[in-house]
Structure formats: C-alpha cells, structure tokens
Amino acid sequence: VIDGFSSSEVNFVVIGMAAPAACTRFSDNYDLKEELGKGAFSVVRRCVQKSSGQEFAAKIINTKKLSARDFQKLEREARICRKLQHPNIVRLHDSIQEENFHYLVFDLVTGGELFEDIVAREFYSEADASHCIQQILESVHHCHSNGVVHRDLKPENLLLASKAKGAAVKLADFGLAIEVQGEQQAWFGFAGTPGYLSPEVLKKEPYGKPVDIWACGVILYILLVGYPPFWDEDQHRLYAQIKAGAYDYPSPEWDTVTPEAKNLINQMLTVIPSKRITASEALKHPWICQRERVASVVHRQETVDCLKKFNARRKLKGAILTTMLATRNFSSKYEPQGRSIITKKGDGSQVKESTDSSTTLEDDDIKEDKVKGGVDRSSTVIAKEPEELRIVCPNKTTSQLSTNSYSSARKQEVIKMTEQLIEAINTGDFEAYTKICDPHLTAFEPEALGNLVEGMDFHKFYFDNNVIVKNCKAVNTTILNPNVHLLGEDAACIAYVRLTQYMDKQGVAHSLQCEETRVWHKRDNKWQNVHFHRSTNSPSYTFAPSAHK
C-alpha cells in the first residue's frame, strides 16, 4: 500500500483500488463505524452496508495527496483486484469516488495473521502445514491462471478470514502485483521482500510467475520449522545464498519432517525458474493432495517455539528495519531523480531470520542506466519511502513550506524525547524512564547477547543496582547525526550515533560510541519509546554507560 499502511498492523487487510465508480455518495450506502487503522494518506474504518447489514472494511483515501504516479499504481492494483475472486483471496467489493476522497470497500478480515494463529494453537503438525500451504497455493494458482503475479508473498500478507477454528487463509495486498501474458518472462523491476526474493530477481534477469512459487517455498520451509531457509546478518551474504539456492535441512528439527515435504520444498526452491514446480503441479504433489496418508500428524512444539521468535522479529515492521539497517552513519544517499537509496546492514541478531523480513521494496521506475556510481542493486535496494522522506523540489509552494515546517517540528519533538530518555538513563531515574517507555518495550542490544528483550525487567536491573551512578563521577551524552523518519501521524523512527563521555572513580576521562535506533509511537498526544536497537564495538558490561538502556 503506497502510504505505508501495512496489512500486518491490524486484523483486516486493504488490497487495492478500483477505477472511479459512478459518483454515488458513500454515506448513502454505508454507515461508518470505528477506526481500524491509519496510514499517511488514508484511514480505514469498519463500515456497514445499509441495504444488507453486512460488515466491510472501508479505506478512505485522501486523493488530494496522491501523485499521478500513485494513481497509476492504484489503477493497476484495481484492475487486478477486480478480476481476482477466490475464497483464498481478500476481495474488493466497491469503489466510490467523491470530490476529495476515494472510498474502497473490502472484505473485513478479522482473523489476524496466519503465523500468529499457528503459535496460539494447542496442536500443530506437518499435516496442518500442508493444509496451510495448500490454501496459499490455491490463491497463487488463481492469480497465475488470471495472468497475475503477486510479487510479495510473505507472512504479513497471509491472513485468516475470521477467528473461528478452521477459518480460510486469505492472500492480501496486491500493491506490487503485475499482469503478465501467459508464461511471459520480462524484467518488471526490483520488487518484493528480501528474504522472499527469488534468484532471478536478485540477478536482475527476466522473471514471471515462478517468483511466487519461490516465495511459497520459503513460506513452507518456515511453516515446518519456524525459521527461514535463507538468513544472514549481512544482506550481501543473504542475497548470495538465495542466488546460489544454498539452504539445508539441519538436525534435529528436520529429522522428523517427512521426505515428501522436503521434496516439495526442493521443487519450489529450484534456482532455475523454468525447472521450478508450478502452482498447479504443486497442488497435485502427494504431500498436498494425499495429506492424510503422507504428512506426519505429530505435534511440532519446537516449530511453534521458533515461530514465536520469528513473529516477534517480524513485528518490528519494515519501516523500522529500513532505518535501523541504513548506512553506517545513518545517512541516506539520494539519486538525482530523488529516490532514496538505502544500503542495508545486518543488525547483529542471533535469531535465525533473514536480514529484513517485512520491508517491501520496489524499484520498477528507475532504469539501470540511470543508476550512478556503479551501484549494485543486488545489495542495494530502493525503498518505498514515506511521504515525509521524499525530496521536495526547489520551487516550494506555501502549502509545501507549511507541511515541511510541521514535519520539522515533529522531528524536533522526537529528538527532544530521545534526549530526555537518555538523561533519565544517565541520572538513574527509572521512574522517568518508565514514563517515556512503553511497558512492552522491545530491544536488541549487546547486553542481551543478540536476543530480543521485551518488557522493563531486563533494563530495571541496571537502574536497581545504580550501575552508572556507582561507576561514574560524571556522564555526558551527545547525540550525533540524528535522522528522524516520520511514519504517518503517530509514529517515528530516529537513528543516531550516541557519544558518551564519562569520568571514572579515579578521575580518568573515557569516551564510548554506539549506534542506536529508537522507534516512537504517539499515544494520547504523548510520545513513547516502543523499540530500540543498539550496536556497539564496546564489550558488554565492562562499563555502565555501555549498558545504555
């Protein structure tokens, strides 16, 4: 979705835009209810159709904010959504154009993400994984039969129709989908999500329907063991693994998976697209169509446990990770065309997952010969930036200046809140710290040895033991090169270098440096820190300020 609104943020999905319908007032046909989610250009609300009493999700788009290019993409998405009608695909029902707003009416998908539902189940087996991938393959087969390639198959786009047991899996978000003729292979641009990209896309070769099957192979692998087949802290190495098709089946978790399941994965994760299994063929595979006889029905607790960690990582959101993994000094580089080129770096985590599991990338507008400086797009991606990150033309109108001033003020708010948080850390004021941080704060930091920490207990240890106050006579912290990315109206991400000066008990001066990213969310008009990530070359625990909370 062009405004940064992700299907994974709420328990329903928005998937497309239809061509302008007859100019019927939305309020004549629907009653608007509570807000379900919000993006930079839109708001999504539950609505009830007056004639039937049926519930839907209405996405209300502020059309004044959309560029001509945005409209073109939405029109493409609309054409695709209108011709896809399948039980395993979220459906677009209505489209109403009014003067300044466009109303899009979709299925109200209330069951949440498939992967979140799996970890909440009391029992989960290989046979259950087979049933899940069968429904996904059914949706992909319908797309391919209608000349559509999704290009962004991933867990965030696999939802459940309702919370009822056995609810249908629904494929969502056709924002990157393209139309192809038959088995056409062509270069349609660099698009997708890093851990799910196919070798042919990474090699910048012609591609088509087989890219969706590759992504299905990655998803099936995760469904069986709870972690992905390709992962590395460094994106260069991640992409090299994918291009080589370098994955394996480690013991002991894969020892209990049937050979038939591995056989299907192998046929999906075949590097040469022409030799890769098709959706139609995959649905006829014994592990799918003879599930009762072939697939194991033993409960897979280890898979559920690993999947919980995998889900926690995914929840850090693409926009957060895009900033977190930006260039070493957290500064963006821009092309003459004004697109943001962000070189990814590993985040140092030990959890077995690809570098960035949820950021959707698209580069179908910039041609090879326009990229300057020999940039290798197999390791450099062009992200879909939020509105606030776009380069503004020199000839600013009054309204543009006003918008920029508003954005600048909000960015200063985030910097100020970050400074206040660090001050609370330096003074050992846990009460002030808890007021600024969300109670369910998540963090990656050296002290946690690569694990994702959730909640306040881990951080409270350092405050309770007065670590900084005991070891230092004086502490001063400077924030260098702060970069604030505004994510809609009520969220922001700040990346910066944190330079800490301190005097030890012997009166000797020291300095430490680390790189930090903090994600802020505005609730009740108050900013709260909901996640942070810190990397540092300083050893953990050697000095209190290295244990920056």
Per the annotation, where are the binding residues? Answer: 59
Q: Which of 79, 88, 33, 24 is nearest to 56 (CA)?
A: 33
Whether 55 contacts 44, CB under 8 Å? no
* Residues 359 and 194 sit within 8 Å (Cβ to Cβ): yes
Is there a contact between 129 and 224 (Cβ–Cβ < 8 Å)?
A: yes
Angle of helix 126-145 relative to helix 259-268, nearest 10 degrees, comes to: 30
Please provide residue 347's backbone torsions phi and psi, each rounded to the nearest 5 degrees: -100, 5
How far apart are alpha carbons 500 and 502 in whole angstroms? 7
Q: Is the link from the previous residue into 252 a cis peptide, with omega within 30 of 0? A: yes
Report phi then psi at 218, rounded to 5.
-65, -45
Catalytic annotation present for 107: no
User: Is 152:176 a contact under the CB 8 Å cutoff?
Assistant: yes
Q: Which residues pair with 519 in a beta bridge?
A: 493, 531
Residue 109 CA to residue 299 CA, distance in Å, equals 28
Report the C-alpha dihedral over residues 26, 29, 31, 36, rounded to 10 degrees.
-60
Q: Where are the beta strands (DSSP E) in 187-234?
A: 190-192
State phi, psi for 477 to the nearest 5 degrees. Answer: -120, 135
Residues 67 and 1 sit within 8 Å (Cβ to Cβ)? no
- CA atoms of 70 and 384, how far apart (whole Å): 12
Report the relative pairing of strands 42-49 and 526-536 from DSSP bridges. Answer: unpaired
From CA 155, how far away is CA 116, in angstroms rounded? Answer: 9
**Residue in the block written with tokens 């998937």:** 15
Feature table: binding site for ATP? 59
Output the 3-class SS for 488-536: CCCEEEEEEEEEEEEEECCCCEEEEEEEEEEEEEEECCEEEEEEEEEEE
Among 376, 378, 382, which residue's Cα sits nearest to residue 364? 382
The pair of structure tokens assigned to 260 is 């038939």
Both tokens assigned to 187: 């270069």
β partners of residue 497 = 480, 515
Candidates 152, 173, 347, 356; catalytic one: 152
- The catalytic residues are 152
